[in-house]
Amino acid sequence: MKKLLGILLSAGIIACGGAMSGFTAEKACAATSAQLVTNCKSAYLMDGNSGECIYKENETARMPIASVCKVMTLTLCFEAVAAKKIAYDDIVTVSENAAGMGGSQVFLEQGGKYTVDQLIKSIIVCSANDSCVAMSETISGGEEQFVSEMNKKATELGCNDTLFANCTGLPRETQYSCAKDVAVMFNNLIGYEDYFKYSKIWLEDFVHPENRTTSMTNTNKLLRKYSACDGGKTGFTNEAGFCLAATAKKNNMRLISAVLGAGSSDDRFNSTIHMFDYGFANYKNAIVLDKNVTLNDEFAVTGGRKDSFAVRPERNSYMFLNIKDEAQITHNVIAYEVKAPVACEQVVGKIEVYKNGVLCDTVNIVAAENVEKASFGDNFRRIAGEWAL
């Protein structure tokens, strides 16, 4: 596979993509307090693709996070849709308990019938507590069991400084999280592409039975303040202060931020903008494995009508780098033993990518064409040709 390196090179580096196993947010963050100053009690900035930390400030301090708690509520909603436990057009009949929720709400009617799509949209756009409870009852049979699932999911994500007591974020003792955990949970949430169908809605009427409407305005003002921002979740209580989890994307790089305990709404938005600006100005995600480009070398196959076939990466791969980084990138190509027939898109090997000696990504290699099994006639002609030599 000596020629393979040529297709992996791009501007002198090899890129890593997807969930990079070698990068973790535990590594020392690059920004210093002198470079970034937030007016918040806790903050965290990370690259969404690799999970690598860019900036941290009291990132594991356990604090109330108010409605940012709904990041996990929404995660379980989208997870249930993905598992086909519920569907967007399913009808939910609102209970007295859900309709009676206080705080931010969309004023659901007790006994009213709404679609799952409506309820999820109202949680994302206007942080509707009543819709949260209605969804918790639909998915888990009640808020208590739903909260248990929220905590289980947090544990699965490695969020060890998080404990949920309700699905709304309304003040409750023994409920807390931290900026790092919030960023990790939010990054997981936006992995559900359907989230972005709702996250950029700025103003929309919520239609109740008999055509009564409630106007919804997005609580994430960063959508208007920062053009690269396409999602976020706000939160505020007197105890928690002003909180925000947000994401922004430019070119190949998606950043995830979390700020907790800001003194004002402007502080949380401006601090987030400051962090995003720093991240985009100093880092890049360079693509060097392109799923649409075949590798220079073909893979061998036995028992086929041909001896080798074209291959390509299964997905794009990216490397998160400081713009001044001169990282040493190496790779290891592993080709599996393959027998015909071979189907296009069949996994036939993998590429391990290393940054400074640390494994950062593993990408499957797939067949870029079909290879039919050799017939008796093919084998006869091949043998006859060898005899002729």
DSSP 320-375: EEETT----EEEEEEEPP-BS-B-TT-EEEEEEEEETTEEEEEEEEEESS-BPBPP
Tell me the per-residue pLDDT of 127-154, one tens digit each, with 9 for 90 and over: 999 999 999 999 999 999 999 999 999 9
Compute, in degrees rounded to 10, the torsion defined by CA atoms 188, 190, 178, 249: 120
pLDDT at 42: 96
Q: Which CATH architecture has domain 42-285?
A: 3-Layer(aba) Sandwich (3.40)
Catalytic (active site) residue 200? no
Domain boundaries, the chain: 4-18+290-376, 42-285
The span from the CA of 304 to the CA of 310, in Å, is: 13
Catalytic residue among 41, 70, 153, 284: 70
User: What's the longest Cα–Cα distance across the chain?
Assistant: 89
181 falls in which pLDDT band (50, 70, 90)?
very high
User: Can you tell me the mean pLDDT for 336-360?
Assistant: 93
3-class DSSP state of 207: strand
Q: What is the mean pLDDT of residues 14-37?
A: 44
Q: Each residue of 255-288: pLDDT tens digit? A: 999 999 999 999 999 999 999 999 999 999 888 7
Which of the 8 DSSP states describes residue 10? B
pTM for the predicted model, two decimal places: 0.83
Distance of CA 221 to the CA centre of its chain: 21
Catalytic residue among 42, 127, 177, 199: 127
Catalytic residue among 42, 50, 67, 199: 67
Mean pLDDT of 160-186: 96
Topology (CATH) of 4-18+290-376: Peptidoglycan synthesis regulatory factor (PBP3), Domain 2 (2.60.410)
The predicted model gives 295-300 an average pLDDT of 92
Active-site residue 70, yes or no? yes
* CB burial of residue 188 (10 Å; 0-12, 13-18, 19+): buried
Q: Is the pLDDT of residue 3 over 80?
A: no
Mean of pLDDT values over 173-201: 97
Q: Is 21 a catalytic residue?
A: no
